[in-house]
A and B are shown apart, each in its own frame.
Chain A
Amino acid sequence: EVQLLESGGDFVQPGGSLRLACAASGFTISNNAVSWVRQAPGKGLEWVSTITGRGTGIYYADSVRGRFTISKDTSKNTLFLQMDSLRADDSAIYYCARNMGHVTYYFDYWGQGALVTVSS
C-alpha cells in the first residue's frame, strides 16, 4: 500500500526557515517523481516543486524558486523541502504527492499534509 507521511510543519516568523520531510512507503522514490503541493487556508491547490526519480530533474514554481530546495534521501525513501526566507504568503498545508506521467505529471497518491504558519 502506497503511503506518504509528512512531518516538520510548524509556526515560524517571517524570514525564518523550516524543513519538511515526507516518508514514503509502498513504493521507491528512486523509481518515481515526487512533488510538494500546497494549499493556503481556504484556498485552492498550488504546485510547489518536483524532483524526478533519478533526481536529475528538479522543478520549482516561480513563487518559491531561489527560496525553497527540494531533495531526497533514497536510502531512507524520504523527500524533503527546505524552505528559507519564509513569507506570510507561504502559510499553507504542504502535501507531498507521488507523481505519475512521463515528462510532466499528475498526482496519484497524497499525504495528509503538514501545516506551515508564517507569522510574527
Chain B
Amino acid sequence: EIVVTQSPATLSVSPGERATLSCRASQSVSSNLAWYQQKPGQAPRLLIFGASARATGIPARFSGSGSGTEFTLTISSLQSDDFAVYYCQQFNNWPLTFGGGTKVEIK
C-alpha cells in the first residue's frame, strides 16, 4: 500500500498570503495525484488531478506541481473561502489512498 503523508497538519495563513501544502508518497505515483478541498459539513471537492490540472471551475489561484513522490498545492493569494482542509490522493496503485489532510486556518 502506498502511504501518503501531508505536511504540515495545520497551516496558519493571513488572507492575501500564499499557502504551500506538501504531499509525499511512499513510492512513486508518477503524476497520478489529486487534491481535494473540504469545508466543515460538506463533501470534498476536486481541485487538481494529474498533479497539476485544475478541475472545472477551480480558480487559477490554485496550482499543483510535482511528480514521483513529492507534490505541492499552492494557493497564491488566500481568500476567505479557501480556509478549509485539503487532502491529496494517489491513484497510481490499488488501494487508492489519501493523505491525512492539511487544515488551512486564518492567522
Contacts and interface: CB of A to CB of B under 8 A. Distances in A.
Interface of A: 35, 44-47, 50, 59, 61-62, 95, 100-101, 104-113
A104 B94 contact: yes
Interface residues of B, number: 24
Given A44-B101, A45-B44, A107-B34, A61 B95 contact: yes
A59 B94 contact: yes
B34 A106 contact: yes
B93 interface: yes
B71 interface: no
Contact of B95 (A62, A95, A106, A109): A62
Determine the main DSSP class of B at the interface with A: loop
Interface stretch (B19-27, B60-68, B72-80, B84-92): B84-92
B99 interface: yes
A95 B43 contact: yes
B44 A110 contact: yes
Given A44-B99, A101-B32, A107-B46, 19 more contacts: A44-B100, A45-B89, A45-B101, A47-B89, A47-B95, A47-B98, A95-B43, A100-B49, A104-B32, A104-B93, A104-B94, A106-B46, A106-B49, A106-B89, A106-B91, A107-B34, A108-B46, A108-B49, A108-B55
A62 B95 CA distance: 8
Nearest to B97: A47
Contacts, number: 58
Interface of B: 32, 34, 36, 38, 42-46, 49, 55, 87, 89, 91-101
B98 A110 contact: no
A111 B98 CA distance: 18
A46 to B, nearest CB: 7
A108 B93 CA distance: 18
A62 B36 CA distance: 23
A111 B32 CA distance: 23
